[in-house]
Amino acid sequence: MNNEPIQKKKINPNLVAAVTIPFFTVIMIIFVIMPAVREEEDQVINANTNQPTAECSVDADCQTPSDYLIQSRCPFDSGCIEGQCEVICPLSRHDPDLNISKSYPITCSTDSDCDCSGYLANDLKECKCQDNKCVVVIDQEIEL
């Protein structure tokens, strides 16, 4: 058995810095910077949710919530209707020729020209003529 004292190796401070600085940088990014950025994104998203209280003067003032954009039952959009941002579903008619896969917007000049009885979902708020096209105004209070 060797009774010589064990010699401790000195740790290179440059190696310690080379390992710990990137480690703590990643930790800081994950726990400090990313939540702050996410919170800022959430505030922007929440500011543009098109709840019925969102005021507008033109359609470009409104943004369609992503919950509607990902749905396939309708090409949802948003529009400024009577000074409020609303989610809308444009009404269309399909080409009568079954060999043609094309839809055409249903045109109108007043709300009474529009018939939304073919819209079968339960989130119909009202039927409107928006920019000379018939649209279903969606009731956003109803769960998706």
**pLDDT per residue over 25-67, tens digit each?**
777 777 766 666 555 555 444 444 444 458 899 999 999 998 8
Query: 31 burial class (0-12, 13-18, 19+ CB within 10 angstroms)?
Result: exposed
- Better-scored residue on pLDDT, 24 or 122: 122
Q: Which residue has the tokens 């007043």?
A: 110
Q: 111 pLDDT exceeds 50?
A: yes
Handedness of CA 41, 42, 48, 50 (dihedral sign): positive
Q: 135 pLDDT exceeds 90?
A: yes
Handedness of CA 94, 99, 101, 105 (dihedral sign): negative
Percentage, residues of the chain above pLDDT 90: 38
